[in-house]
Amino acid sequence: MDKIKIGMLGLGTVGSGVFKTLKMFDNVEIKKIAVKNINKKRDIENLDTSILTDNPYDVVNDKDIQIVVELIGGVEPTWDYIKTAIENGKHIVTANKELLAKKGEALFNLSEEHNRVVLYEAAIAGGVPLIMPMKTILRGNKIQKIQAIINGTTNYILTKMDVDNASYEKVLKEAQELGYAEADPTGDVEGFDAAYKITTLSTIAFGQRIKLENVYREGITKVRPEDMQIARELGYKIKLIAMGQIMDNGKADVRVHPMLVPQSSTLAHIDYVTNAVNITGYPIGDILLSGAGAGEFPTASSVVGDILSIAAELGTTDYLLPMMRCHHHSTAEMIDISETYNKYYISITSPNAVGMIGKIGNACASRNISLSTLLQKGLSNNNTADIIVITERCKETDIKHALAELDNCQINSLIRVGE
């Protein structure tokens, strides 16, 4: 039996893991790999450098290659490489969450036009099996809500801030030194990475296209050690949560932001670089999928699984993996973050004056906002008081208007609270 010919774009950390893992299987052969620098020393034993090229089009235009594995990331010029590969009759395996979020509709329309499969298990939660279970085993469920920790960098930073009572800046520097954070960490710490992932995940879960530009995004750069400590005292942990849910009116609420998560919940105990996705649906109820969200071999596990799924179908049917294809074509109507209802944690610094607690209460009461917790954390040397408020569920626009009335107070933190 002829071996299935594989072409790879990228031989970095994940690419190396894929290369090493594929050596375990006799039915596939890596024919060509596009890299930036052919002469770079790589941690791969007995690498045949003759299969390396610095021109990605050598891979996507190779007539013998049946599956192209894209591991270079980004949108441009990657989109053109994948587009060319599909037009040349090749199936695609990718870990590119940004491309899926920004070009998903065009990508899947093109793949159907050419009767080719695009698989992307590694793009959402690294080594955590997620996409295939949702498209197969969980297909009989009506998914109502997803809450996920799907960015290891931010989860590591928030965990260390909590455990060490350290500042964001200090922990970020440590994360960069350990290789958990990029030199430019913006994509992670500002929530872009998680937003890309929850966009694709919600699209699958709800059977409607989610537009990235309508996904609310807020990063972790404003979270303070004081917030972590107070949250812990009140029975919470602060996590960067990527969330998608369908409201009673049928609109989709998809967002990424820090959240106070009750310590009684499983997500509160997902620490360091671990990823976890909590899925709520009917009839399944709540299930949690968790594991390594990044790294050479965990991510390679998902990539290789996709490769072998395609390889097993080649030559057996004219329409490969129908359940794994894109079957939704309508676009979800999205709710704006200003229209959502949440509980809120608020840290306020106010003048130590008679009636300030009452003023805060009145500002909230004027907007029909009830308070579940209100406490003063002592006085500072400059005669100001730190006041902590946790509200009951209220509308986002109402809490913003209420806080605007506190014109002589400093709002240190406003973080949504999970239930």
**Residues designated as active site:** 197
Of 127, 167, 172, 132, the C-alpha closest to 150 is 127
Task: Compute the distance between CA of residue 231 and CA of residue 237 in angstroms, rounded to an integer.
Answer: 6
Task: Compute the distance between CA of residue 255 and CA of residue 183 in angstroms, rounded to an integer.
Answer: 25
- What are the structure tokens assigned to 339, written together? 């229209």
Whole-number Cα distances in Å, 382 to 227, 346, 352, 379, 413: 21, 21, 9, 8, 20
- 3-state SS string for 149-181: ECCHHHHHHHHHHHHHCCCHHHHHHHHHHHCCC
Q: How many other C-beta atoms lie within 10 A of the C-beta of residue 242?
A: 30
40: buried, middle or exposed (CB in 10 Å: 19+, 13-18, 0-12)? exposed
Write out the H or E segment, with its range, that includes residue 379.
strand 371-379
**Interhelix angle for 13-22 vs 296-313, to 10°?**
50
